[in-house]
Amino acid sequence: MITAFHKSRLGAARDGEYTPNWFIRWPWLWTSVLGVCMALLALAMLSQERAKQLEAERYQLLQLLSMRASALEGAIQTGVVALENIRSELVLHPDYDPTELDARVALFLEHYPHFRHIAVAPDLVIRYIYPTKGNEAALGLDYRTVPVQYRAVETAINKRSAVVAGPVNLVQGGTGLVIRVPVILPDQQVWGVIAAIIPMEPLLQQAGLAELQRDYYLGLSGKDGDESQTELFWGDIELQRDLAVTSPIKLPVGRWLLHAYPRHSESWRDSNLQLLALVAFTIIFLVCAAVLLFLRLIGERERALHTLAFQASFDPVTRLPNRSVFNEQLTSAMKRAQAEQSSLSLFCLDLDEFKQVNESLGHQVGDELLKAVAIRLNALVQPQDIVARLGGDEFAVLRFIDPNAESTEQFAERIVAEFHQPLDISGRAISISCSIGIALYPLDGLTAIDLLKHADRATYAAKEIGRNTYHFYDAAMQKEADRFVLLHHEILKGLELNQFFLVYQPIYDVNTGKFTKCEALVRWQHPERGLISPLDFIAVAERTGAIRPLGHFVLKQALADSQLFRRQGLELQISINRSSQEFNVHHVAQEWLLSIQQAGLEYNSIIFEITESLFMDRISVQQNNILALHSEGVQLAIDDFGTGYSALNYLSRYPVNFIKIDKSFVNDVDVQERARALVAVLINMAKVLDVQVVAEGVETAGQLAVLQELGCDFIQGYYFSKPLKLEEFVRFLQQKV
């Protein structure tokens, strides 16, 4: 029956409590962020270092390249110069003699062996070619008929400068450059053109590029000296232009570009990549961290809300639903039972003597005990049943009655039996029993409030019949409870309306033969019911709490009457009855002491009559009050001695001045040897402990004689006098004096 909502709240709070300081709670996050930042810094420094190194390398390469470029420029320029020498010859001898030219060219070619051939084209038609052999086909070629060549020729003429074109594929294999030099006469008349072909390979070899290629990827672009031609006309196709260092190679018209980058220096290629990877990694990491942080914060928030919700609904010690949640659960279970025509049984459990455990072993042990009880109860029930902690040492179990399963009695017996097993509380075996009250739905109540109230009543009944047992609710119990409530209010009203008064019963001192003490006993003059005995209302007042205002009245009145006795010349110790409940208030002793002092009375003129249970329960508040009273000299008497507990050892441990032997022992003291023997033992024991003895309910001379003989110190009873109203009591004593 625990709803999903409650379960989830249960789970949430089990995970741990909410601490708002999430910064401290995720050291992994912050250390890794810090770690990444430091790594980034280190990498940034490293990459800066590498960038510097790269820059240096590039600079070195640039120097190398420009050297090679100059060498290449020089090699080409040499060819150009050679042709310009021939041109000069022709300008000087426009009507040249081919044989003479042949000899000159041959001479040139000795110096410039790179030329493949040289063609001379007066009026743009090739008339002479050297060596002629193998090149005959070119003779007679008119440049104007070959557009590609004509464009270069035209440029050379227009610029009045040599023009290097190509490289072009050579018929003999390989590639070569075409150098064209215009021949312009001094009168600016275009004579013609000289052209020569230089094979590329030896040229490059000469410039040292082939050698450079071992270590570098190289490339040349700008075919025909046209820089806008970006594709490589020579070199390594693997060359990556964007990484390369570039150096220009000047041609007579236009230029080439020489590109290079190292074959083996990875850093050239990777530096950018590494940086890119680093940036990508950082971004991914930061995004992940942010997402994680966000999720954690959401989780924390949820958890905090759940913890709050849990705390509002569940008991923090046992983690069971608290009273208000249980009320909801009970209401909805009752609705369900009504719809299904089924029944419920509600068990209210009250731990017997839990207060003592708490007081004597401490609250921590008390909490552990409650936890252990919760676990034990949970183990006893079916999954659909509900276990709750209603507060203090009260638990509730709600069961759906299944006619085919264990009966309600059997279940109650099982709980009682289970509680006989001691609980292991931090290595200590603690036995605690419980009293169980049972109310049934729909039989014993139709609302959650009624059913709970009735189960609670039944718990009271279970306690009354001796604890460690269970009791079913019945209607008579309710009547009794109703009577209690009514009486409680009547007592309070009666106190207001002065319906209570005190009577005094004299107590005879055997040793002096005088009445030196009296007991104050309360009476209730009820307007309708007449005089009511304390036997009919004290017990109820103790249960409902009305005993406190009532006890307050009794003390005030007794102190006032005591002052009156003084004025009448009567020296009396007044014995006042106190209930255990009255001792349960912190520092109530101080309050009482103050009242005695304010009445102008000696502390030792007052005797408080208490019962043995006050010692047996060992509740520290009560004991502190007892000790406080004693330390100021207030006397203590154990009332109804011998009727309650048989453990008498408290007598030696607590400051008791009197014991009052109960009337039931006194009754047969003069007629029954056993009774006489028993009283003899009680008196002797008291003597040993230095405690004086008062015999109560002495009605006959025979009883008096035996008690006197046994050494009883004080006698109280009808034999001397019934309790008397104030004036009568005063008169009684005055007559006796």
Q: Are the CB atoms for 205 and 218 separated by under 8 Å?
A: no
Of residues 624 and 700, the one with the C-beta less far from ligand C2E: 700
Closest by CA to 77, choosing from 207, 219, 208, 240, is: 207
Using rule CB under 5 A, residue 640 touches Ca ion: yes
Structure tokens, 614: 């006050």
Of residues 202 and 534, the one with the C-beta less far from Ca ion: 534
Of residues 149 and 505, the one with the C-beta less far from ligand C2E: 505
Q: How far is the CB of 628 from ligand C2E (least distance, A)?
A: 19
Find which of ligand C2E, Ca ion, none residue 522 binds, CB within 5 to 8 Å per kind. ligand C2E
DSSP state for residue 218 in the 8-state scheme? E
Helix/strand/coil for 258: strand
| 457-462: long-range contacts, CB 8 A cutoff, minimum separation 24 | 457/481, 458/348, 459/348, 459/349, 459/350, 459/394, 459/435, 461/437, 462/350, 462/435, 462/436, 462/437
Using rule CB under 5 A, residue 394 touches Ca ion: no
Residue from 579, 605, 635, 692 touching ligand C2E (CB under 6 A): that is 579
Q: Are the CB atoms for 234 and 167 separated by under 8 Å?
A: yes
| 417-437: b (≥16 Cβ within 10 Å) or e | eebeeebebeeeeeebebbbb
Q: How far is the CB of 574 from ligand C2E (least distance, A)?
A: 11
Q: Could you give the CA distance from residue 615 to residue 648 in angstroms, rounded to a whole number? A: 10
Size of the site for ligand C2E (CB under 6 A): 21
> What is the full DSSP assignment across 104-163?
HHHHHHHH-TT-SEEEEEETTB--EEES-TT-GGGTT-BGGG-HHHHHHHHHHHHHTS-E
Q: Are the CB atoms for 622 and 658 separated by under 8 Å?
A: no
Structure tokens, 662: 């109960």
Q: How far is the CB of 537 from ligand C2E (least distance, A)?
A: 9
Residue from 236, 640, 668, 728 touching ligand C2E (CB under 6 A): that is 640
Q: How far is the CB of 641 from Ca ion (least distance, A)?
A: 8
Q: Give the relative orientation of helices 547-567 and 588-598 as an angle to the nearest 10 degrees.
A: 20
Of residues 200 and 522, the one with the C-beta less far from Ca ion: 522
Using rule CB under 6 A, residue 554 touches ligand C2E: yes
Residue from 462, 521, 606, 682 touching ligand C2E (CB under 6 A): that is 521
Q: Could you give the CA distance from residue 17 to residue 25 in angstroms, rounded to a whole number? A: 12
Of residues 77 and 716, the one with the C-beta less far from ligand C2E: 716
Q: Tokens 């007892």 sit at which residue?
A: 626
Q: How far is the CB of 689 from ligand C2E (least distance, A)?
A: 21
Residue from 254, 321, 445, 697 touching ligand C2E (CB under 6 A): that is 697
Residue from 48, 172, 382, 533 touching ligand C2E (CB under 6 A): that is 533
Using rule CB under 5 A, residue 577 touches Ca ion: yes
Q: Which stretch binds ligand C2E (CB under 6 A): 204-212, 222-230, 672-680, 693-701?
A: 693-701
Per-position x/- string for 119-158, each x denoting binding to ligand C2E as judged by CB under 6 A, each - no binding? ----------------------------------------
Of residues 484 and 515, the one with the C-beta less far from Ca ion: 515
Within residues 604-633, the interface with Ca ion by CB under 5 A covers 609
Of residues 390 and 629, the one with the C-beta less far from ligand C2E: 629
| 75-98: b (≥16 Cβ within 10 Å) or e | bbbbbbebbbbbbebbeeeeebee
Within residues 495-514, the interface with ligand C2E by CB under 6 A covers 505
Q: Which stretch binds Ca ion (CB under 5 A): 63-71, 165-173, 503-511, 570-578?
A: 570-578
Find which of Ca ion, ligand C2E, none residue 315 binds, CB within 5 to 8 Å per kind. none
What are the φ and ψ backbone dihedral angles of 48, each rounded to 5 degrees?
Answer: -65, -45
Size of the site for Ca ion (CB under 5 A): 5
Q: Which stretch binds ligand C2E (CB under 6 A): 103-111, 247-255, 362-370, 534-542?
A: 534-542
Of residues 73 and 609, the one with the C-beta less far from Ca ion: 609
Q: Are the CB atoms for 225 and 76 separated by under 8 Å?
A: no
Closest by CA to 705, choosing from 649, 666, 734, 650, is: 666
Structure tokens, 333: 């279970």
Within residues 705-724, the interface with ligand C2E by CB under 6 A covers 716-718, 723
162, 529, 577, 696 from 533: Cα distances, Å: 147, 11, 14, 18
Q: Name 436's Cβ contacts closer than 8 Å, sequence gap at least 6.
A: 347, 348, 349, 350, 412, 415, 416, 458, 459, 462, 469, 470, 471
Using rule CB under 6 A, residue 531 touches ligand C2E: no
DSSP state for residue 386 in the 8-state scheme? E
Closest by CA to 101, choosing from 81, 78, 85, is: 85
Q: How far is the CB of 551 from ligand C2E (least distance, A)?
A: 6
Closest by CA to 220, choosing from 193, 195, 201, is: 201
Residue from 119, 538, 661, 712 touching ligand C2E (CB under 6 A): that is 538
Q: How far is the CB of 713 from ligand C2E (least distance, A)?
A: 17
Structure tokens, 229: 């031609």
Of residues 659 and 698, the one with the C-beta less far from ligand C2E: 698
Using rule CB under 6 A, residue 394 touches ligand C2E: no
271, 296, 600 from 300: Cα distances, Å: 42, 6, 66
Find which of Ca ion, ligand C2E, none residue 723 binds, CB within 5 to 8 Å per kind. ligand C2E
Q: Tokens 């306690």 sit at which residue?
A: 463
Using rule CB under 6 A, residue 79 touches ligand C2E: no
Q: How far is the CB of 660 from ligand C2E (least distance, A)?
A: 7
Q: Tokens 């400068």 sit at which residue?
A: 161
Q: How far is the CB of 554 from Ca ion (least distance, A)?
A: 11
Q: Are the CB atoms for 430 and 422 separated by under 8 Å?
A: yes
Q: Is the preceding peptide bond at 167 cis, omega within 30 degrees of 0?
A: yes
Find which of ligand C2E, Ca ion, none residue 518 binds, CB within 5 to 8 Å per kind. none
Per-position x/- string for 169-208, each x denoting binding to ligand C2E as judged by CB under 6 A, each - no binding? ----------------------------------------
Q: How far is the CB of 526 from ligand C2E (least distance, A)?
A: 15
Q: Which stretch binds ligand C2E (CB under 6 A): 75-83, 178-186, 527-535, 625-633?
A: 527-535
Residue from 89, 359, 444, 639 touching Ca ion (CB under 5 A): that is 639
Find which of Ca ion, ligand C2E, none residue 225 binds, CB within 5 to 8 Å per kind. none
Using rule CB under 6 A, residue 534 touches ligand C2E: yes
Residue from 348, 522, 574, 710 touching ligand C2E (CB under 6 A): that is 522
Q: Could you give the CA distance from residue 547 to residue 550 in angstroms, rounded to a whole number? A: 5
683, containing H or E segment? helix 673-688
Q: How far is the CB of 458 from ligand C2E (least distance, A)?
A: 27
How far, in whole angstroms, is CA 18 from its chain's centroid? 4
Residue from 4, 92, 429, 535 touching ligand C2E (CB under 6 A): that is 535
Per-position x/- string for 660-699, each x denoting binding to Ca ion as judged by CB under 5 A, each - no binding? ------------------------------------x---
Q: How far is the CB of 581 from Ca ion (least distance, A)?
A: 16
Chain residues binding Ca ion by CB under 5 A are: 577, 609, 639-640, 696
Chain residues binding ligand C2E by CB under 6 A are: 505, 521-522, 533-535, 538, 554, 577-579, 639-640, 696-699, 716-718, 723
